Amino acid sequence: MARTAVVSGGGTGIGLAVAERLAAAGDDVILTGRREDVLADAASRIGEHASYVAADLETLEGAAAVLQHASEHAGRIDVIAAAAGGNTAAKAPADLQGLERVSWVWNANLRLNVMTAVHLVEGLKPILNDGGRILLFSSIAAYRGSGTGSYGASKAALHPYAIDLSSELGSRGITANVIAPGYTEDTEFFGTSMTEERRTMLIGQTDNKRPGTPGDIAALAAWLASPEAGHVTAQIIQSNGGALAGR
């Protein structure tokens, strides 16, 4: 029987790759994100196994909209993949300086990377089936910092959250794990800020001397979401080609 997965950030990058991989295996996928046009294009690309709901998961209203859509379209769900996120450091208002700017960036990153995941997971808990799978998405920055502190810290906050979810829900056969990617190309994360010099540096830090791809992360996510991964829970799994902290 087909399962149902809800994927936040499902319109582009890693989230879209995860949704495509699950749909290719026969799962129904519900995409969510802020941009309705992007979600519509992604759902059309995936085909009959996909639906979508535009929602801002930084808000309670967004979480309620996703729950309503999932309840109406599927009734119950089996996989939650909280792939929405990003780094707001470069988006701070230009007129903010000093402590005001630091506070804005920290709060914005916490909302974007932590609360979007918390609102999605906690909002969907009431309709998550026994044997379900929860996937959170961290970053190599959680291990080695992100330059400004706030992005890496916000991603690191997901690690104990997954451990606590595993403890809370494990008796129902539900697993909760975190995937922490390294440098991954073909996403919107870096925008136009990636230089060839920086790209070369990041690839040089890997052992296999190549960038990660959304497909790499989707393959790992699909396995963690599978019935075969039922004894893997409360884990933070890195996928970065060997670009470990301290190298």
Tell how strand 236-239 and strand 128-137 pair up: unpaired
Selecting among 52, 151, 161, 183, the annotated active-site residue is: 151
Q: Which strands form 175-181's sheet, in the order they lie side by side?
A: 50-54, 28-33, 4-8, 77-82, 128-137, 175-181, 236-239
Q: At what angle do helices 116-124 and 60-73 cross, to 10 degrees?
A: 40
52 catalytic residue (yes or no): no
Helix (H) or strand (E) holding 28: strand 28-33
* Distance from C-alpha of 119 to C-alpha of 202, rounded to nearest angstrom: 32
* Distance from C-alpha of 185 to C-alpha of 195, rounded to nearest angstrom: 12
Strand partners, 52: 31
Listed residue (33, 88, 92, 28) closest to 62, CA to CA: 33
Residues assigned a catalytic role: 151
